[in-house]
Amino acid sequence: MRKLRPVILPILLTATLAVSIPVYQTESKKRELKEDLIELSKVKYGMFNVDEWKEALAGIISKKVEEFNLEDTNKDELREKISTFLYVVIDDFEENFRETNRKKSWFGLSYKNLIASSVDLFARLKENVPEITDQIIDFFQNPENREKVKAYIIGKLNEYADRTFSSIDYSEHDTILMKHGYSLRIDTIPALETKIQDLNNRNRIMYIGLYVLIFVLGLFLAFSREISKTEFTFFVILSFIVLSLGLLLPMIDIDARISQMKFQLLGESIQFEDQVLYYKSKSILEVVQLMLTQGKVDLFVVGFLVLLFSVLFPVSKLVCSLILLYSKERKNLKWANIIVFKTGKWSMADVMVIAIFMAYIGFTGILTEQLRQLEDISATVDILTTNQSRLQLGFFMFTAFVLLSLLISQRMGKIISPSR
Residue (of 258, 245, 280) closest to 385 by Cα position: 258
CB of 236 closer than 8 Å to CB of 317: no
The tally of CA atoms less than 13 A away on the side-chain side of residue 314 is 30
Distance, CA of 192 to CA of 32 (rounded, Å): 10
pLDDT for res 26: 92
Query: What 8-state DSSP symbol labels residue 268?
Result: E
Q: What is the DSSP string of 145-157?
A: HHHHHHHHHHHHH
pLDDT for res 375: 56
Distances (CA, A) of 172 to 36, 164, 194, 205, 367: 9, 24, 21, 35, 27
Distances (CA, A) of 165 to 51, 52, 160, 229, 261: 10, 12, 9, 69, 21
Beta pairing, strands 252-265 & 382-387: antiparallel
CB of 417 closer than 8 Å to CB of 269: no
Q: What is the DSSP string of 110-174?
A: -HHHHHHHHTTHHHHHHHTHHHHHHHHHHHHH-HHHHHHHHHHHHHHHHHHHHHHSPPP--HHHH
Region of 253 (left: φ > 0; alpha: ψ -120 to 50; beta: rest) is beta
Query: What 8-state DSSP symbol labels residue 296?
Result: -
Residue (of 275, 219, 259) closest to 404 by Cα position: 219
Neighbours of 369 (CB within 10 A): 11
pLDDT for res 210: 92
pLDDT for res 420: 47
What sign does the dihedral 339-342-343-349 (CA atoms) show?
Answer: positive
For the chain, the first-to-last Cα distance in angstroms comes to 29
Low-confidence ranges of the chain (pLDDT < 70): 1-4, 64-74, 103-116, 119, 121, 140-141, 146, 157, 160-166, 263, 265-267, 329-332, 337, 339-388, 413-420
pLDDT for res 178: 92
Distance, CA of 64 to CA of 80 (rounded, Å): 21
